[in-house]
Amino acid sequence: MPKIELRHVTKKFGKFIAVDDLNMVIEDRSFVTLLGPSGCGKTTTLRMIAGLETPTEGEIVINDRVVFSSLNGIDVPPDKRDVGFLFQNYALWPHMTVYKNIAFGLENLKWPKNQINDRVQQLLDMLKIGEFAARYPAELSGGQQQRVAIARTLATGPKVLFMDEPLSNLDAKLRMEMRAELKRLHRETDSTFVYVTHDQLEAMTLSSMVCLMKNGYMQQYAPPLEVYRKPANTFTADFVGSPNINLVEGTVIDGTEQMIRLTEGIVLQFTSEKTLGLHTGQAVVLGLRPEHISITEHASLVDATILSSLPSGMETIVALDMDGIRLHSVVFGDLDFEVGKHVGLSFSQGLFNLFDKVDSNNLGQGTLSKA
């Protein structure tokens, strides 16, 4: 049974379309992230599901109950949707201690005092904020406040938890810890998490499904590694992965044989399981993940020159010039490369994606060889 379903949900602010005909199913107990650049409609989408924003059109179903329908005039208020929130600006109650902030929702639900105490203690431990229990929010750092906000949201054990960039105020180390913590919380709570972030790494590492948005449109809705391996278009290809995927433009010079010219001197054959129906003269874009470009001493598939080498110990990011095309490769291990050196490249590992240049959509996957 899916937990949440959005059907043709659109939100307009005046003439501006913030979310455009969004259809998505959020399965029970999944961890879904809404990912995309600033202004793409993530917060608006979350607020519509939560009931804080009224869609212009469409239908939203939570737990088999229609909570919004523009056609039938249904709009269930947020507090009747059995959901919890954690928003970008998580306002803690300033006049209440940390303990009280966490306990407040449970007191409202008339939990017995000893049970409230147990639950708050459990959350204080879980989020490592026990030592601040008696302090007021103003006496905490941003990161500590954020953890209190997470504890407060989890306290009542909501079946669906909405989080809008809940880790944005934390420093890098704490953010990494909290990511692991959130993943654990998700496993332990049996709740469905809907999480908003513009950080691709956060979305990749946390979620069971990523919904990638751009200008109010859903671009791809798939498990993170599928988005990585098989991006729906050049936008999603470019949005996930660091360093970014190399997107190299080319022209099909033989549609049947799938021969692609990247430069005057570089023509590659793209071998796919199914023929892609390419036509001669078609403008295409080849997606090359940096880790799939190997650098060899001897000339192999193509020649290149080292432009820069950035070793960080575990891996080295190498910028290359391939007949006028700039590429990035990632080489694992503590290696360094001499700038200006001529090397060979091979594109032997994994499958590569080919995109149409005009509509930017994925045409198919295949391997590359010398024509």
Binding residues vs ligand ATP (CB under 6 A): 13, 16, 18, 36, 38-44, 198
Q: Does 43 bind Mg ion (CB under 5 A)?
A: yes
Residue whose CB is less far from Mg ion, 106 or 149:
149
Beta-strand pair 74-75/65-69: antiparallel
Q: Note whether 242 and 200 are within 8 A (CB).
A: yes
DSSP for 279-345 reads: -TT-EEEEEE-GGG-EEESS--SEEEEEEEEEE-SSEEEEEEEETTEEEEEEEESS----TT-EEEE
Q: What does 13 bind: Mg ion, ligand ATP, none (CB cut-off 5 to 8 Å by kind)?
A: ligand ATP
Label residues 229-249 b or e (16+ Cβ within 10 Å = b): ebbbbbbbbbbbbebebbbbe
The values of phi and psi at residue 15, to 5°, are: -90, -15
Residues 6 or more apart whose CB falls under 8 angstroms from that of 144 comprise 129, 132
Which of 222, 223, 219 lies closest to 239 in space, CA to CA? Answer: 219
Residue 172 CB, nearest approach to ligand ATP (Å): 19
Residue whose CB is less far from ligand ATP, 13 or 93:
13
Residue whose CB is less far from Mg ion, 206 or 284:
206
Residue 210 CB, nearest approach to Mg ion (Å): 16
Residue whose CB is less far from Mg ion, 18 or 278:
18
Closest CB to Mg ion belongs to which residue? 43
Q: What's the rounded Cα separation, in Å, for the pair 296 and 304? A: 10
Residue whose CB is less far from ligand ATP, 16 or 332:
16
Residue 73 CB, nearest approach to ligand ATP (Å): 22
Residue 67 CB, nearest approach to ligand ATP (Å): 19
Residue whose CB is less far from Mg ion, 53 or 59:
53
Which of 45, 46, 32 lies closest to 210 in space, CA to CA? Answer: 32
Region from 41-49, 126-134, 333-341, 355-363 binding Mg ion, contact rule CB under 5 A = 41-49
Residue 47 CB, nearest approach to ligand ATP (Å): 8
Q: What does 38 bind: ligand ATP, Mg ion, none (CB cut-off 5 to 8 Å by kind)?
A: ligand ATP
Beta-carbon neighbour count of residue 200 at 10 Å? 23
Task: Say how many Å lie between the first and final Cα of the chain, rounded.
Answer: 50
Residue whose CB is less far from Mg ion, 37 or 223:
37
Q: What does 268 bind: ligand ATP, Mg ion, none (CB cut-off 5 to 8 Å by kind)?
A: none
Q: With CB under 5 A as the rule, give the number of residues binding Mg ion.
A: 1
Residue 39 CB, nearest approach to Mg ion (Å): 8
Q: What's the rounded Cα separation, in Å, for the pair 315 and 363? A: 31
For binding to Mg ion (CB under 5 A), which residues are involved? Answer: 43
